Amino acid sequence: MEEAMLRYQEMTDSLCVEYIKRHGRYSMAANHFHPTYEVYYLLKGERIYFIRDSSYAVQPGDLVFLPRDALHKTIHSGIPSHERMVIYFDERFLYEAGGQDAQLLLSPFRHRQPVLRLPEEQKKEAEKLVLRLLEEIGRREPGYDLSVRNIVTDLLLLSGRFLLRNEPPETAYATPMHKKISEVIRYLNSHYAEPVTLAKLSETFFVSPYYLSRSFKEVSGFALTDYLNLTRIKEAQRLLRSTRLPVTEIAARVGFESFSHFGKMFKKLSRMSARTYRKQASAQPGTDPYLQGGDDLDKMDTGTLL
């Protein structure tokens, strides 16, 4: 599947760059969210990018800006091959690189449109920066660490300045069903703590259970049950980091009727128990032990209660 890969990891772990060229159809198998900012750049091919509650068609030259902890997943669009570059960084890199202008560098992540499609002039400038970045990572000549940091900063600055002066158009829904599924996802994001069943969702949104289940998977890349479990565990992680509530109470607050089911899901998605997660988060305040979910989402139990 992978034909080529480059990876750069800064010694302080505050910046990471990854390039992958893939041949054949590929969709992310893993549920995915992380405590770092992410910039996704597509060099070739086409991708469908699900972010929070909507799916976006991503074309070559597009920049995707993902805030921390935003649930996301890339899905194949029918085009068999693609090349992409992803930049991950944390608060340390942001403020070391941007100083008093850190908020300007951060501004693309706060925009309501996560996909930035630049006009031709700025698009060419962004492409040059990306190609320079990959060249530096590939050659690793003396001083390449400094060059990598500067190029990433320049890419964020280019995007931030453009958005200060321009308002990108809203991305239209591909089909009425895409719009409907976005409404369902927003409902789940607000009602995850309540008992939710496929039958209830079907009745609420006037869609047959079978069609709703199938369309949800096609549009978002997630099975409906998996998405709801992931949303609940994500909130549980936040409560474990920010409160001293008992784990049993947290499980109930995020919508799990069974504590054993909560424990099973938490360990599957976080790769550690809830108590271990809290212990590690307490030992390193301001960090998140969780980087991404497991790779076996499709093997999860999908009962009637979502």
The alpha carbon dihedral of 157, 159, 160, 161 has a sign of positive
Residues 132-163 have pLDDT tens digits of 999 999 999 999 999 999 999 999 999 999 99
Residues 245-256 have pLDDT tens digits of 999 999 999 999
Domain spans, the chain: 2-165, 176-299
Compute the distance between CA of residue 75 and CA of residue 22 in angstroms, rounded to an integer. Answer: 13
- For domain 176-299, say whether CATH 1.10.10.60 is its number: yes
Which are the contacts of 259, defined by CB distance < 8 A and separation ≥ 6? 248, 251, 252
**Per-residue model confidence (pLDDT) at position 133:** 97
Structure tokens at 196: 């939710």
Reduced to 3 states (helix: H, G, I; strand: E, B; else coil), residue 75 is strand
Confidence of residue 299 (pLDDT cuts 50, 70, 90): very low
Compute the distance between CA of residue 262 and CA of residue 229 in angstroms, rounded to an integer. Answer: 9
**Per-residue model confidence (pLDDT) at position 30:** 59
The CATH T-level fold of domain 2-165 is: Jelly Rolls (2.60.120)
Structure tokens at 262: 């909560």
CB 192 within 8 Å of CB 228: yes
Reduced to 3 states (helix: H, G, I; strand: E, B; else coil), residue 63 is strand
**Per-residue model confidence (pLDDT) at position 137:** 95
